[in-house]
Structure 1
Amino acid sequence: MTKENYVKMLISNKGHNIKSFAREIDIPYTTLSGILKRGIDGASVQNVIKICKALNITVEALQNVENNNHTSEDNNLLSQLIKKYNLTKDDANFMKTFLMLDAQDRETMIKCMTLLTQHTADIIPKRTKPDHKLTPEEKRKIVNDELDIETKAKTS
């Protein structure tokens, strides 16, 4: 993936188009559009810093994007995972973005996700089937279990 496509993907992941992102970072739309068409390497340092800061990435990480490109075999494997697990577009973008992080940033992300999942695993009971297939008794049990967990948490 090129640096320009990577930046476009991050802009899109933030819920922006090029025009709204340019407005957010106070760069003229034509300047940002030109940077993304002609290449980030030709942009002013000040503009690259503004773009990176708004996208929460370092200039070094952006510089390494093309060095961390994945092969078509990697992309094929990713496509298979997307299909196998019926992942959404957001899930796929998350995975692609995660894979483009350097090792230290991936490690940090994994630690954060571990903390999140450990916390929620204690609160949210495991479901064995979708809500609409639960019997009234199963629904009552889940609600009662959740109330018990809340009560224990309050008394602790």
Structure 2
Amino acid sequence: MTKAEILKREILAQYKSVRQFAIDMSIPYSTLVTALDRGIEGMAYGTVIRMCDKLNLNPVDFSTLEKGTDLGNKIVENRVMLQYVKLNKVGRKKVLDYMSDMTALEKYQA
């Protein structure tokens, strides 16, 4: 399934019509229909991100995000995990130990 097909499926699952979604997103209907028919590669990156955020989709792989998930946090989590899985056992332990130390310091707590 292409990204455009995933988007269209999610739009129709969450909205009455593609037109309603276009209105809600302030995107010209004809632009959205063309993108869904021909592929989203020509759309502005910011528009695709806004659409994914509205539909609770991960803009990297278009998988479904949980409702209420902050997209920015999810992207950061993905980046951290992509680097973490590249580490061997010793490297992973060192990273986890370091993160444990950092979270114990009030200055670094969220």
TM-score (norm 1): 0.39
Q: Secondary structure at the match of 2:11?
A: helix
Correspondence 1:1-156 to 2 at 5 A: 1-62=1-62
Displacement after TM superposition at 1:29 (Å): 0.4
Displacement after TM superposition at 1:38 (Å): 1.6
Distance across 2 between alignment mates of 1:20 and 1:7 = 14
Distance across 2 between alignment mates of 1:41 and 1:60 = 13
Report percent identity of matched pairs: 33
Question: Residue by residue, what CA displacement relative to the aligned partner does 1:126-151 show, whole Å, maximum 9, x if unpaired?
Answer: xxxxxxxxxxxxxxxxxxxxxxxxxx
Moved over 4 A (4+): none
Gaps in structure 2 of 5+ consecutive residues: 68-110
Distance across 2 between alignment mates of 1:6 and 1:31 = 17
Displacement after TM superposition at 1:12 (Å): 1.1
Question: Residue by residue, what CA displacement relative to the aligned partner does 1:72-125 show, whole Å, maximum 9, x if unpaired?
Answer: xxxxxxxxxxxxxxxxxxxxxxxxxxxx55xxx6xx79xxxxxxxxxxxxxxxx
Q: Secondary structure at the match of 2:15?
A: coil
Distance across 2 between alignment mates of 1:12 and 1:21 = 9
Distance across 2 between alignment mates of 1:61 and 1:16 = 25
Gaps in structure 1 of 5+ consecutive residues: 63-99, 110-156
Q: Which has the higher helix share?
A: 1
- Counterpart of 1:34, as a letter, is T
- Counterpart of 2:5, as a letter, is N
Distance across 2 between alignment mates of 1:10 and 1:55 = 7
Displacement after TM superposition at 1:15 (Å): 2.9
* Higher radius of gyration, 1 or 2: 1
How many residue pairs get aligned? The number is: 67
